[in-house]
Amino acid sequence: MIRETPEINAGSMADIAFLLLIFFLVTTTMDVDSGIVRKLPPPVEDDRPIDEVNRRNIYTVLINSADMIYANGKPGSIKTLRSDVKEFLTPHFPDNPRFPKVEAIELEINSKKIPYYKSKGIVSMQNDRGTSYEIYIHVQNELAGAVRELRDELSNQHYGMTFKELLKDDDVAAKQIQKAVPMAISEAEPADFGGDQ
């Protein structure tokens, strides 16, 4: 007499696999990539003429492959970058040839129109392809921090609160501060300028 081996009932295996899949989907955490918040300019029309920018209105920040910073052609430091950019973007009146030109604008602050001189300065950042991600982000933070501090100063002066608080409280007033202190940071495509400048 030959004994047959009993078959294993595999009917519930699909149910078990499905339950395990659900379990892993529910308990797994997904990493969310975070990036740098930048508002991109609208697409440029092909036939639009390119605006000429006065050289004194541009503050160049270069980062080489050795993670060294050059600000306006001179060796710079991450420690002083924010204050240097703040000084550059602060409107200097009367016209000072060491700083960008200023533009007369009108701001509506607390339902009153007031004259204001806005800096026409632009910060141009470019990095080497070999620049470390850490220093790249650090420089980006310092440049954005300079603009943020200028906006906070103007917002505190006229509204008694930081720009971030003003954004939550009064969108129209926040737009006036953004008009006076735009995020004038331009980023050029990475290049290969090596370890020396």
Q: How far apart are CA 92 and CA 102, in angstroms?
A: 7
Residue-level pLDDT at 98 = 81
Please write the tens of the pLDDT for every residue from 81-95.
999 999 999 987 767
pLDDT at 189 over 80: yes
Backbone angles phi and psi of 160, in degrees to 5: 70, 25
Q: Which residues of 104-119 are buried (b: 16+ CB within 10 A; e: fewer)?
A: eeebebeeeeeebbbb
What does the pLDDT look like over 16-71, one tens digit per residue? 888 999 988 888 877 666 665 655 556 666 666 655 667 888 999 999 989 899 99
177 neighbors 166 (Cβ within 8 angstroms): yes
pLDDT digits (tens, 9 = 90+) for 164-176: 888 888 888 889 9
